């Protein structure tokens, strides 16, 4: 029918037809037949896969036109020269058809091989991107696993709002993985800071968008990845960075990424806040709708976020698919490979962050006891130790003295002294060399055998300041061979890092102790206190108000017994709170008594409040040795609580049920 429509001569059985009269109609007929068949199939496929019909036809059916025209040529030969096809004639025609078929099949095979190769290259390409992204993700301890979730949210949201172009989808998929590439230029202490950033730190953090885009611009992406990475922190109202784009000037991929990036950050745990619920995060998105984020994108996300949410079994820390493809491509065997490189990056970042926090914590003029506490706590964060001990070096006695203990068996280390050159820690002090995985019995003697759980290995390194040995840092573990070379390197780095601070703190501590001892030595003692009270009671015959405050300094539970003496600053604070006529007595090394004349019980309570405020104001956790102690107050008044020295002191002591804990600052006053 179509042949006749295009002007073809009627075909009869009477004989051959002149070929010149049928060329044009035959060509038009072939084209019509081919287009009808191929386009019907292409349209059906495009509806099923939500692709462009033209793209489907161009990629899969355009080449089939050669086969149709080849068939039309053979048909023209048949109807032109004969109407009777016998076996002999087929012997000449069939080879022509076979050649045509195999030529076409070979061409299709080559096309399929090329497509397969292209698909493999694209898979390897994306896998390499994912692996790089996982490495960047491992660098950031706070947002670890974030990019994998963002990728799933972003691609799901893109399809939900009608983004159908495959290049745009691939661009969003790649940009989701690489949007934090610029964090390579941001210091770890800012990335992992457990709190709000300062303005200067935030300005440094803002660089990651433009830096990431600059890094990625060196890669010839086949789809627009770089604009998405550069502009994913732009705001709908123009208040974003780095270029201050507004509205539709912002690439659609960047607008999508901004919304899902914010949502995942809000619904993830952070050191400075717990995760928010989905409803709380959506409330925040709605509040920023039309200001920071595209209103249409926000509305679409709220509708579909549950459907596109990553499944619970999605690996948050690495990409098994990407790693396996990459390993296969470069020749790694699965048996010989693991995800250890990402763990190493994460561990390295943790080490850098801990050293930064150690330096930050040791800034300022700290007391020796504060320094040792900070050093041991940060060391145990990086090295698996059951017990950590800092031995200070007593130059006068040429001995190591246990200054601070953290962990198990702390009580058994209190007061421990080791002569320099003896035992393990003493040998480390004398030789100035590190010992790794030695038996703790060689350091602690038979006491180590009685500890439960028993200590089985130790790591000890010298702490050498500018003027010589400051002390020894020794770690103990209940595991055999617990310490690796990495642990040795970390502990030695910490020892070098803190040596000068330890030395300064030791010198300051000696000065403070000297001042304190001089002040204590200048106070009247307990015998003078007893005579004074007795004289006051006798002269007043029990009718004049007389009160006293008993002040005790005791170590907190697990604290250092060495700090259970009033420091120079505590003495200054107590003296500063006294009124004219009040007298301070030294009752013992850790107890003081304030005698208040012409003062009733209410007045004594008021003096205690003033004294507490002065102590808190003068002694802070970062600079006073008493920070590991509790200062307790008890009051007694005559004649209500007795008319003898013993009864008044007994009543004051019995009321010391609450204390002033100096380890937490002003908020610890009870």
Q: In order of start, what are the domains of the chain with their CATH numbers?
A: 2-84 (no CATH), 128-332 (1.10.3210.10), 362-517 (3.30.450.40), 523-668 (3.30.70.270)
Under 8 Å between Cβ of 240 and 206: no
Over residues 441-468, mean pLDDT: 87
Please give the residue that has the higher pLDDT: either 613 or 558.
Answer: 613
pLDDT category at 618 given cuts 50, 70, 90 is low
Phi, psi dihedrals of residue 142, rounded to the nearest 5°: -75, -45
From CA 425, how far away is CA 474, in angstroms rounded?
A: 7
What single-letter DSSP state applies at residue 224?
Answer: -
Count Cα atoms within 13 angstroms, Cβ side, for 357: 21
Task: Check pLDDT > 70 for residue 345.
Answer: no
For the chain, the helix, strand and coil percentages under 3-state DSSP, each to the nearest 5: 60, 10, 30
Contacting residues for 70 by C-beta, under 8 A, at least 6 apart: 100, 104
The answer to which of 237-246, 261-270, 353-362 has the lowest mean pLDDT is: 353-362
pLDDT band for position 158 (cuts 50, 70, 90): very high
Residue 552: the pLDDT is 84
* Sign of the dihedral through C-alpha 482, 488, 494, 498: positive
> What pLDDT score does 165 carry?
85
- Cβ proximity of 587 and 632 under 8 Å: no
pLDDT at position 178? 86
Ranges 208-217, 219-228, 229-238, 555-564: which has the least confidence: 555-564
The torsion region of residue 471 among left (phi > 0), alpha (psi -120 to 50) and beta comes to left
Give the up-direction half-sphere exposure of residue 664: CA atoms within 13 A in the CB hemisphere.
Answer: 9
Render pLDDT for 565-611 as a digit per residue (tens, 0 to 9).
566 677 778 888 888 778 888 887 778 899 888 888 888 888 888 88
pTM: predicted TM-score of the whole model, two decimal places:
0.44
- CA angle 47–49–51, rounded 5-degree value: 75
Name the pLDDT band for 254 (thresholds 50, 70, 90).
Answer: very high
627 pLDDT tier (thresholds 50, 70, 90): very low
Q: What pLDDT score does 348 carry? A: 54
Beta-carbon neighbour count of residue 77 at 10 Å?
Answer: 13
Distance CA 254, CA 491 (A): 45
Beta strands in 164-222 (DSSP E): none
Q: Please check the confidence at residue 352 and state whether its pLDDT lies above 70.
A: no
pLDDT tens for 494-533 read 888 888 888 877 776 665 555 555 556 667 877 778 877 7
Q: How many CB atoms lie within 10 A of CB 29?
A: 21
Q: Locate all alpha helices (DSSP H) within 162-198, ordered by sequence.
A: 166-178, 188-191
* DSSP result, 3-22: HHHTTPPPP-TTS---GGGT
Is pLDDT of 316 > 80? no
Hey, is 592 helix, strand or coil? strand
Instruction: Please give the Cα distance from 254 to 67 (Å, whole number).
Output: 45
- HSE of 478, CA atoms in CB hemisphere, 13 A: 10
Q: Predicted confidence band at 286 (pLDDT cuts at 50, 70, 90)?
A: very high
Q: Which of the pair, 656 or 670, is modelled with greater confidence?
A: 656
* Mean pLDDT over each residue of the chain, to the nearest integer: 76
Q: What is the pLDDT of residue 555?
A: 62
pLDDT at 383: 87
Residue (of 376, 367, 331) closest to 568 by Cα position: 367
Percent of the chain with pLDDT strictly greater than 70: 66
* Farthest CA pair distance, the chain: 157
pLDDT for 490 = 87
Q: Directed axis angle between helix 340-361 and helix 485-521, to 10°? A: 20
**Which residues, at least 6 apart from 75, have a Cβ–Cβ distance to it below 8 Å?**
26
pLDDT at 161: 92
pLDDT recorded at residue 666: 34
Q: How many CB atoms lie within 10 A of CB 120?
A: 12
Task: Give the Cα-Cα-Cα angle 541, 544, 545 (nearest 5 degrees).
Answer: 130
pLDDT > 90: what percent of the chain? 20
pLDDT at 670: 32
């Amino acid at each position: 029918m179509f042949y006749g429509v295009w002007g073809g001569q009627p075909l009869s059985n009477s004989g051959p037809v002149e070929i010149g009269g049928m060329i044009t109609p035959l060509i038009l007929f072939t084209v019509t037949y081919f287009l009808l068949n191929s386009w019907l199939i292409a349209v059906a496929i495009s509806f099923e896969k939500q692709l462009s019909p033209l793209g489907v036809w161009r990629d899969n059916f355009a080449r089939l036109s050669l086969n149709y025209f080849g068939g039309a040529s053979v048909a023209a030969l048949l109807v032109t020269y004969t109407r009777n096809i016998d076996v002999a004639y087929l012997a000449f025609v069939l080879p022509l058809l076979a050649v045509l078929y195999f030529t076409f099949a070979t061409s299709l095979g080559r096309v399929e091989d090329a497509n397969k190769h292209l698909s493999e290259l694209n898979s390897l390409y994306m896998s390499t991107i994912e692996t790089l992204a996982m490495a960047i993700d491992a660098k950031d301890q706070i947002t670890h696993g974030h990019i994998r979730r963002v990728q799933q949210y972003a691609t799901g949201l893109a399809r939900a709002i009608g983004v159908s172009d495959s290049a745009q989808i691939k661009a969003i998929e790649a940009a989701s993985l690489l949007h934090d590439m610029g964090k390579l230029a941001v210091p770890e202490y800012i990335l992992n800071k457990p709190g709000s950033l300062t303005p200067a730190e935030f300005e440094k953090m803002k660089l990651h968008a433009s830096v990431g885009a600059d890094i990625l611009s060196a890669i010839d992406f086949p789809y627009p990845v770089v604009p998405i990475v550069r502009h994913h922190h732009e705001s709908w109202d123009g208040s974003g960075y780095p270029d201050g784009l507004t509205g539709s000037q912002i690439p659609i991929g960047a607008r999508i990424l901004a919304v899902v990036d914010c949502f995942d950050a809000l619904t993830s745990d952070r050191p400075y806040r717990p995760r928010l619920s989905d409803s709380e995060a959506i409330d925040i998105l709605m509040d920023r709708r039309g200001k920071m984020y595209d209103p249409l994108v926000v509305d679409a996300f709220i509708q579909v976020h549950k459907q596109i949410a990553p499944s619970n079994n999605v690996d948050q820390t690495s990409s098994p698919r990407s790693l396996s493809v990459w390993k296969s491509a470069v020749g790694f065997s699965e048996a010989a490979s693991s995800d250890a490189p990402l763990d190493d990056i994460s561990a390295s970042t943790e080490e850098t962050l801990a050293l930064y926090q150690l330096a930050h914590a040791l800034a300022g003029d700290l007391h020796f006891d504060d320094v040792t506490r900070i050093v041991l706590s940060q060391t145990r964060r990086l090295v698996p130790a059951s017990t950590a001990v800092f031995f200070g070096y007593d130059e006068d006695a040429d001995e190591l003295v246990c200054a601070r203990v953290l962990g198990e068996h702390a009580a058994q280390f209190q007061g421990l002294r080791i002569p320099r050159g003896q035992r393990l820690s003493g040998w480390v002090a004398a030789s100035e060399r590190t010992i790794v995985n030695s038996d703790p019995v060689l350091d602690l003697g038979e006491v180590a055998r009685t500890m439960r759980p028993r200590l089985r290995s130790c790591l000890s390194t010298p702490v050498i300041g500018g003027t010589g040995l400051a002390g020894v840092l020794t770690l103990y573990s209940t595991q055999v061979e617990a310490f690796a070379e990495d642990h040795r390197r970390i502990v030695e780095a910490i020892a070098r890092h803190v040596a000068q601070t330890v030395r300064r703190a030791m010198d300051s501590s000696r000065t403070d102790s000297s001042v304190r001892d001089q002040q204590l030595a200048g106070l009247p003692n307990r015998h003078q206190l007893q005579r004074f009270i007795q004289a006051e009671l006798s002269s007043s015959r029990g009718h004049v108000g007389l009160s006293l405050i008993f002040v005790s300094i005791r170590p907190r539970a697990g604290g250092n017994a060495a700090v259970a003496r009033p420091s120079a600053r505590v003495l200054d604070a107590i003296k500063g709170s006294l009124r004219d006529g009040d007298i301070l007595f030294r009752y013992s090394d850790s107890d003081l008594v304030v005698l208040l004349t012409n003062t009733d019980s209410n007045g004594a309570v008021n003096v205690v409040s003033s004294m507490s405020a002065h102590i808190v104001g003068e002694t802070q956790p970062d600079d006073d040795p008493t920070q590991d102690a509790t200062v307790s107050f008890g009051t007694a008044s005559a004649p209500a609580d007795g008319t003898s020295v013993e009864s008044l002191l007994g009543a004051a002591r019995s009321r010391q049920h609450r204390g002033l804990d100096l380890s937490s600052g002003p908020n610890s006053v009870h």
